[in-house]
Amino acid sequence: MAYWYNVNTGQIEQDGNTDPKDNLMGPYPTEDDARAAIETSRKKNELWDEEDREWKDE
C-alpha cells in the first residue's frame, strides 16, 4: 500500500482513499515517509539550489 501527503489538509492518505492526486505528494512506501514529505522536499530543494549556485560559479 502506498501513502500520500495531502498538501491541503496536512493529513496522510492511503491508496484508494485519497483526494485528487494534484493535492498530494507521493507515493511513499511508509506512513513515516509520507509524514516527512515537506521536510524531505525542503532538503532536496536546498541541495538543488546549492548545486545550481556551484554550477553558475564554474
Contact 39, 26 (CB under 8 A): no
User: pLDDT of 10-52, one tens digit each?
Assistant: 999 998 777 677 889 999 999 999 999 999 999 999 999 999 8
Other CB atoms closer than 10 Å to residue 37's CB: what's the count?
Answer: 20
pLDDT at 44: 93
* DSSP designation for 8: T
The verdict on pTM exceeding 0.85 is no
Check residue 16 and give its pLDDT: 76
